[in-house]
Amino acid sequence: MKLRNTVIQEQDAARIHEILSHFLGDSGAVEALLIDRAGQLMAMEGDSQALDAVSISALAAAAYSSTAAMAQLLGEPEFSVLFHEGTKRSIHVSTVDDDAILLAIFDHRTTVGMVRLLAGEATRAIGGVLGEARVRPKPQAEFGVPLNETESRAAWTPPS
């Protein structure tokens, strides 16, 4: 499948924020990360002070991809849920659409069943938002004009 660029406008971000906030409030999960299947973090909600969300996103997308590849070896199109149980915190990952997954981190204050149930609702709602965002043309104000020389300069200077 050909992957699509994603442009998340402010109104999309607000709707995703609302969906994830409700999901956390209703499910009792402590963190929710919306992740592009290529491994990029698109949005997150929760008490994320000490969380290396960028690394978790890359690892979760990789784990999800390898699980999907295993599913195909069994003749399944995909395993739609991935669950890792820890002693204090656990991770639940579910499919949003072909290009995104939702990762929830939860602890003893809720159950995997509750998280799973409400993640289903949240992923359907987020899938709708992302679907609309992906068919919208890229804003021309910022992206319609090629980069100038200053904007194309080297980003990093090698150590001398």
Partner 1 sequence: MSVINYAQRVIDFKIVYYGPGMAGKTANLQYIHRCLPNGNRGNMISLATGDDRTIYFDFLPVTALTVRGFQTRFQLYTVPGQVQYNATRRLVLRGADGLVFVADSQFERLRENVESLRDLEANLREYESTLDEIPYVLQYNKRDLPNLAPLSYLEFVLNRRAARVPFFEASAIDGKGVFETLNTVSRMALASEFGVGRERRNEAS
Residues in the site for partner 1, rule: CB under 8 A? Answer: 1-10, 12-14, 36-43, 52, 54-55, 58-59, 62, 65-66, 69, 138, 142-147, 151-159
On whether the CB atoms of residues 106 and 90 are closer than 8 A, the answer is yes
| Per-position DSSP letters for 40-55, written without gaps between them | -EEEEEE--TT--HHH
Buried b (16+ CB within 10 A) or exposed e, 67-92: bbeeeeeeeeeebebbeeeeeeebbb
Q: Min. distance of Cβ 16 from partner 1 in angstroms?
A: 9
Q: Min. distance of Cβ 134 from partner 1 in angstroms?
A: 10
Q: Which is nearer to partner 1, 88 or 153 (CB)?
A: 153
Two tokens, residue 156: 């990093």
Q: Min. distance of Cβ 49 from partner 1 in angstroms?
A: 16
Q: Which is nearer to partner 1, 85 or 149 (CB)?
A: 149
Two tokens, residue 57: 């996103």
Residue type, 71: A
Two tokens, residue 136: 């919208």
Q: Which is nearer to partner 1, 30 or 99 (CB)?
A: 99
Q: Which is nearer to partner 1, 9 or 111 (CB)?
A: 9
Q: Min. distance of Cβ 43 from partner 1 in angstroms?
A: 8
* DSSP H helices in 52-96: 53-73
